[in-house]
Chains A and B, each alone.
Chain A
Amino acid sequence: MTTVDSEILIQATDLVKDYPMGEGSYRALNGVDLTVRRGEFIAIMGPSGSGKSTLLHILGCLDTPSSGRYLLAGTPVHSLAPDELAGLRNREIGFIFQMFFLLPRSSAVENVELPLVYAKLPPSTRHHMALDALRFLNLETHAKHRPNQLSGGQRQQIAIARALVNKPSLILADEPTGNLDSVTSGNIMGLLKKLNEMGNTLILVTHEQDIAAYARRQVRIRDGKIVSDEVIRS
């Protein structure tokens, strides 16, 4: 690998995603090309149903494209089996969802530990790493709380801690502020911006212009195609 190549984290070429629908199929992505370098902060925008989540799921190795090529840090993701994808998600990806997706019966720290469980780290190691992540978010006092004992913003912060804890190359967020009020949204976005400034690569899906404004590059998508891709100068 050359030095120039190593800067490129994501190289997606002509991504197509077809969902089977009754007799035929529905094309949610229709030839998406995207290149992302390490350290970027990208907002993906577009109307509802345009294929933003579909694209993010493919980039996050949760799903595979129907056709096209997707290289993540040089790994050809499009040709991997489900368990290989799981391994890749575990090592390289941190996911943040609109609905938080925390385990309701587990405490905050246990939720943060979850990726490390599947990384087969010994309990004491992963407990320390999870507490470190919570401490970074000033949430260590809530480590023993269950999700239903936390506010929406706190829940999303726990989810962010979980996305960080395995030190992934790529953090993906699908409308992370969609269930939060504007003040809390601002806090969460500030946090994500800080993570980016620390060197993390971030891709964010959002409807809202002021959320997208935190990013340094905005990609607009419509009917499964990228219609604009511009770097914001601040």
Chain B
Amino acid sequence: MTSRRTEELFGFWGAVFELFRIALRAILSSKMRSFLTVLGIIIGVLAVVAVVSILQGVFASFLSQFESLGGDTLFVRPNYEMFKSHQEGVRRLKMTYEDALAIARDVSQVKEICPFLMRTDTIAYHGRNDSTQIIGTTESYPQINSFFPEQGRFLAPMDVAARRKVCIIGQDILDKLAMPLQSLGEEIQIGRGTYTVMGILEKKGGSFGQSEDDQIFIPLPTAIVQYGQDAANSIFIEVQVRDAQKMDDAVERISAVLRREHGLKFGDVDDFRVFTRDEILKIIKQFTSVSTLIVGAIVSITLIVGGIGIMNIMLVSVTERTREIGIRMAVGAKRIHILYQFLIESVTLSTLGGVVGLGCGTGVAHLTVFILRKTVSETFPAAFIPYWVVLLSLSFAALTGAIFGVYPAVKASRLDPIDALRYE
């Protein structure tokens, strides 16, 4: 009873293991050729894994950035998409501090409102020069963005009202300008202006592209004075509403106020866009699905190119091993044994290719991030390989081997034993 069990068990798994062993021996007996055979699969899987893991890293950090944006927050900016080019939009559209004040005044749903503008500018302290992102904003910024000072204070209403030349700096600025830890009251140069440091922000860590620690905050009216009319016309506005359930009402009211302020007539297109968190997440998801589509296309090409390579070599291999097939048939191998032998060989080969591609792809992704960090941005998000990419790429590799291995395997199994033995 027991021994029959083991024999039955051996029947299936033993046979698979046996064929796997035979396959491995055949593959390893000509390593270079096996490598060249699966090169297509290796490169395909490598490309997919590298692209996906870099994109996934970016998405993950992007998403985490917007997670801090609450469900009760919305975001208004000029509708650049109405023009053919972004530059034209920047030139022709207006969104001003006054718009923000009008919203604050006329929309009852608003709990907090935070207008801001962003500029990149040079900074200097005791002869050290660098550049960073300057954000002109108001005292509402910390509340909406949950980003608070560690030392000193953030911008006060008086700083904004009196256009004071004061600034709040991020942690990275201390390093960039080699400032002492106790830097409150120090004076730094931002572009043409001299500003007094009133606060130092808590460390927030890296995020997509730009670190939030590599920023300097100054009062919005001061920024408008320093950066001029262009800056004054491209204000972005963040709004926190009283009731997240009534988000749609708030969006409607804000749109009405802005249309009135901008003098739009009935039928004119909105020259601004309002984003809620849900909408931003939707856009990110769309982007994700587009990139999934691209990855899918790469995978399909891999499947075909890699598969044809495998089929080609497996056909050669069947021809070269005709004698072996004849010998196996002569001692009792059935067609199905030969079929599975070659099928398992091509699946093993392509899966090994998938594993190599996965390893190389991971390496390439990390290397790319490393290089991007050195050249583009120090805070470029780390590559991230979700488990589904591992599963998917390996199963696609295996599937390729299976699909394109069928024809050579069938061809091998259909050989006549005598013809196969006679084959020279």
A: residues with CB less than 8 A from B are 57, 62-63, 82-83, 86-87, 89-91, 95, 97, 101-103, 105, 114-115, 117-120, 122-123, 162, 166
Contacts and interface: CB of A to CB of B under 8 A. Distances in A.
B326 interface: yes
B287 interface: no
B46 to A, nearest CB: 31
A89 B15 contact: no
B232 interface: no
Contacts of B326: 101
A162 B6 contact: no
A105 B25 contact: yes
A114 B11 CA distance: 15
Interface in B342-365: none
B23 interface: no
Interface string B1-45: 000001100110011001000000110010000000000000000
Interface stretch (B133-141, B268-276, B328-336): B328-336
A4 to B, nearest CB: 30
B330 A95 contact: yes
Interface string B306-325: 00000000000000000110
A39 B377 CA distance: 87
B110 interface: no
B417 interface: yes
B161 interface: no
Contact of A62 (B29, B323, B330): B330
Nearest to A63: B418
Contacts of B176: none
A103 B324 contact: yes
Given A97-B421, A101-B326, A120 B334 contact: no
A118 B324 contact: no
Contacts of A87: 332, 334
Contact of A118 (B6, B331, B421): B331
Contacts of A63: 417-418
Given A95-B331, A114-B328, A122 B6 contact: yes
Given A86-B329, A97-B421, A122 B14 contact: yes
Most chain A CB inside 10 Å of its own CB: which residue of B7, B25, B328, B331: B331
B20 to A, nearest CB: 13
B337 interface: yes
A102 B330 CA distance: 11
24 contacts: A57-B418, A62-B330, A63-B418, A83-B334, A83-B335, A83-B336, A86-B335, A87-B332, A90-B331, A91-B332, A95-B331, A101-B323, A101-B326, A101-B330, A103-B324, A105-B29, A114-B327, A115-B331, A118-B333, A120-B10, A120-B14, A122-B6, A122-B7, A122-B10
Interface string B393-423: 0000000000000000000000001100100
Contacts of B11: 120
A203 B194 CA distance: 109
A40 to B, nearest CB: 22
B6 A119 contact: no
A118 B336 CA distance: 11
A117 B18 contact: yes
Nearest to A99: B421
B327 A101 contact: yes
A98 B329 CA distance: 17
B418 A118 contact: no
Contact of A119 (B324, B328, B332): B332
A62 B417 contact: yes
A114 B334 contact: no
Contacts of B331: 89-90, 95, 114-115, 118, 162
Contacts of B421: 62, 97, 101
Interface string B262-281: 00000000000000000000
A217 to B, nearest CB: 25
Closest 7 A/B residue pairs (Cβ): A90-B332, A118-B332, A115-B331, A86-B334, A83-B334, A122-B10, A89-B332
Contacts of B335: 82-83, 86
Contacts of B334: 82-83, 86-87, 118
Given A57-B418, A89-B332, A120-B15, 16 more contacts: A62-B421, A83-B334, A83-B335, A83-B336, A86-B332, A86-B333, A87-B332, A95-B330, A101-B323, A103-B327, A105-B26, A118-B328, A118-B333, A118-B337, A122-B6, A162-B331
Contacts of B418: 57, 62-63
B12 to A, nearest CB: 10
A120 B336 CA distance: 13
B2 to A, nearest CB: 13
A90 B329 CA distance: 9
A83 B331 CA distance: 12
A62 B331 CA distance: 10
Contacts of A91: 332
A90 B330 CA distance: 8
A63 B419 CA distance: 10
A115 B6 CA distance: 20
B54 to A, nearest CB: 42
A103 B417 CA distance: 15
A55 to B, nearest CB: 13
A122 B327 CA distance: 21
Contacts of A122: 6-7, 10, 14
Given A97-B421, A101-B323, A101-B326, A123 B14 contact: yes
A26 to B, nearest CB: 15
A123 B9 CA distance: 13
Contacts of B327: 101-103, 114
A106 to B, nearest CB: 8
A70 to B, nearest CB: 16
Interface string B138-181: 00000000000000000000000000000000000000000000
